[in-house]
Amino acid sequence: MVQITLPCPTSDLEAPATIITEALLKRFDVSGPRYTSYPTADRFVEAYTAEQYVQALAQRASGSQIGGGTPLSIYVHIPFCESVCYYCACNKVITKHHDKAGEYLQALITEMDLTLAHLGRGAGVSQLHFGGGSPTFLSDAELTMLMAALRERFRIVAGAEIAIEVDPRTVSTGRLQHLRGLGFNRLSFGVQDFDPHVQKAVHRQQSFDSVESLMTAARELGFESTNVDLIYGLPLQTPESFARTIAQVGALKPDRIALYGYAHLPQRFKPQRRIDETQLPAGGAKMVMLHSAIEGFMAHGYSYIGMDHFALSNDSLAVAKRQGRLHRNFQGYSTQPDCDLIALGVSAIGRVGASYSQNVKTLDAYYDALNQGQLPIERGLALSRDDLVRRAVIMALMCQGRVEFESIALAHLVDVREYFKPELERLQELAEQGLVTLEGEAIQVTPMGWFFVRAVAMVFDRYLQADRSRARFSKII
């Protein structure tokens, strides 16, 4: 029997270790959602229209929506990349023609104005995130224009988190200085892996030295937080090679680390068809990589926030985890309280009130809708009462690892034991396997259960229980 011994993810290295057996690894070598939302984006329907989105915006503007006066979060999607990374599952446009950005920026401004016609100008914004694609595909002048347009239409509140995803291959110290001058205070560097063989296999080659110099510059320029994105489960990765990457990232000492398990879904994402499936590590090797990452990062002073995030113990994310204030949104774990998210750009996903919406996924459809004076909504979902109750439970599990029946009952006026009777019965099996403990009036995820928290959350996913087809999701481990 093979078993893996892991440090306790919710405490320090001196806490009792967690032993995960080969049988448990095989039991949970399945696909499942990451739960950056519930219901998950694959449940959105085209029956949800731009008119429904307009109604949600108007309700917020009138104050009739619960939480209507709270600050907004804004996500801006920049789809362009100069080259394709084979693992990528993002919506992107591969081009070296930077002149394409000009038309896109004008379209973003048009979308802002159409949105504000219903939302009203001057709404407070506490979180602004540029993602992609590669937002740094834009020139300094284009980024300046985009930020000016946002500040003209929205009110960025004091202390707001203003973040941008950075491709280290496309920025210099001078560009970082420009970003800082525009007000960006958080950077996320896409690294994925430092091993040159792995980098070549996924068509993303960048040196450790180049990333190190950018990290040093970011600190000198006064960025409040730096994040490094990593992926385990890539072709040619081994536990030994990934351990070297972990050590290198630990030496860089970013404030946060996002560690994602690679989801190989070539039927959905065309670039992944260039990956040789025979070079992908097996589930057991991936768990060893996760083990090495957790052990290595905790040894470097990081707290394990949840399934895919680490943060230095003094970082606001780690503080929020300790204080029970952690939240989860489409960008992952966050310190921001639940708030409406205005999504701008092709394929961007937003949330206003009790509804989700997603923009059209191609540039042609995006430009066409805006040229007709229409918001470019392609699909979405108006959440039912059941969706809201289950979302509260799933997010409590994903963020705090604990569900208090009383808080759910008070917020949603349900008898939790009766409402979730079938789910609580299914949880008994996970309790027997050591993933959760069922207390009198609460569900508690165990230290071992944190490694499989997606499986715990899946028990409460009504859509998933009704539809056992999970090939659309990444593997839990």
45 and 15 share a domain? Answer: no
Task: Establish if 378 belongs to a structural domain.
Answer: no
Instruction: Select from 119, 127, 186 the least CA-distant residue to 157.
Output: 127
Instruction: Give the list of residues 6+ apart from residue 151 with CB closer than 8 angstroms, or none.
Output: none
CATH of the domain at 12: 1.10.10.920
Mean pLDDT in residue range 144-153: 98
235 and 323 share a domain? Answer: yes
**Total-model pTM:** 0.90
How sure is the predictor about 6, in pLDDT bands with cuts at 50, 70 and 90? low
Q: Which pLDDT score, from 0 to 100, does residue 30 have? A: 73
Number of independent structural domains in the chain: 2
pLDDT at 138 over 50: yes
28 and 61 share a domain? Answer: no
CATH of the domain at 60: 3.80.30.20
Instruction: Give the list of residues 6+ apart from residue 266 with CB closer than 8 angstroms, or none.
Output: 272, 273, 275, 277
137 and 277 share a domain? Answer: yes
Task: Residue 415: give the domain boundaries.
Answer: 3-32+385-466
Last residue of a domain, one of 344, 368, 398: 344
328 and 410 share a domain? Answer: no
Q: Which residue has the higher pLDDT, 323 or 348?
A: 348
Last residue of a domain, one of 293, 326, 344: 344
Task: Establish if 51 belongs to a structural domain.
Answer: yes
pLDDT at 2 over 50: no
Identity of the residue numbered 60? R
185 and 319 share a domain? Answer: yes
416 and 307 share a domain? Answer: no
pLDDT at 13 over 50: no
Range name among 105-109, 392-396, 449-453 with the lowest pLDDT average: 449-453
Mean pLDDT in residue range 288-305: 88
Task: Establish if 278 belongs to a structural domain.
Answer: yes
How sure is the predictor about 70, in pLDDT bands with cuts at 50, 70 and 90? confident
320 and 422 share a domain? Answer: no
333 and 282 share a domain? Answer: yes
221 and 241 share a domain? Answer: yes
147 and 14 share a domain? Answer: no
Task: Establish if 145 belongs to a structural domain.
Answer: yes
16 and 46 share a domain? Answer: no
